[in-house]
Structure 1
């Protein structure tokens, strides 16, 4: 096997592995595979950046050993690796936007439950006052004792029912707050992961650009050498 064929094989195999990983994790689809796959998407982007840098290094090492066509192929592989990194970046940005929307929805639920809880607390206070007033009527109005006792009992039952609703609303409010805290943590983690993905994509793009520039310089150099001959 000559040096030209060996160089092409070495460069094609890492790129094929990167393309397979991108397809497996669903890079470029809406949501980027969900929260469970965010680390995989970042790994793919960083791997793509490494592959682009490897292509650039291999291009420089090729020098006099590889033909002009091989250098152009190296530049193409670097560009494709950069595209894969960009696809992973887009998937991560979509995930961050989704988490932001869920955070807003959770905040709305929390606000609604807080308002409902306040209303129920006011109702409980009013029912408590009504019970106290009914008990005072029992003492003051001995002639209407039975009626006053009935009013007090009804007020007590209403207060107990309202207390039960308050407890239920408090449980819903606690659950909503926990969900909001969870989403906040996931959003923070996703933003950090997004920064890493952007950095990897930028490095991949820079490596691809340098590889392309090297290919153009070598093509011009080869043309000058042919003219001299």
Structure 2
């Protein structure tokens, strides 16, 4: 179910699912009831109890949504925000991808409570700065000691693009410029995201492999009827109880 999972700070967990967890997206023609069942199984595997992961309607932009709520992310019928990044004061967050870069960011507050963030960084999102926007929103909420985890995505050796597209993106994010393994123009989105995080003073703790090269992961370039896997961040029950106590102090 998880391609990678770790407790990254006391009580704070980051994970990336794999194809064994099934498709987690509602927008790819799958049975919505089955998608919600899989999401529930994932929340059970993460130990969320009554809480749920907050998802977003991703549109390859740079808008950052602030997610608030109590022990649950919201009622089952509540509309997901239209955004490509989310931040919260402990509400569990999910970002879905199938070649784009899933990014998780965690920071601390003066109170000791964690601040959580996720971002969906495809080619347009990298170019428009969705990751720096998420970092800026976390800092505006009081986050310090920021660290990031870059999930599996298509690598620069595999992501072939027209030369003009490469030049346009690289003019904004130079680290994304690359040549593929076939000697053609490419974009290295994970390198571009890493450069953006490091420019913001964020420590990158982990970077995943290539979705196109790993059949245990969904890849839109391998199959354009692909499902979506998720990058996740959440607090365990102990940490969540502390978050809620501080919130109500």
- What TM-score, normalized to structure 2? 0.24
- What TM-score, normalized to structure 1? 0.26
Choose between structure 1 and 2: higher strand proportion.
Answer: 2
Q: State the structure with bigger RCO (CA 8 A, min sep 6), 1 or 2.
A: 1
Greater Rg by CA: 1
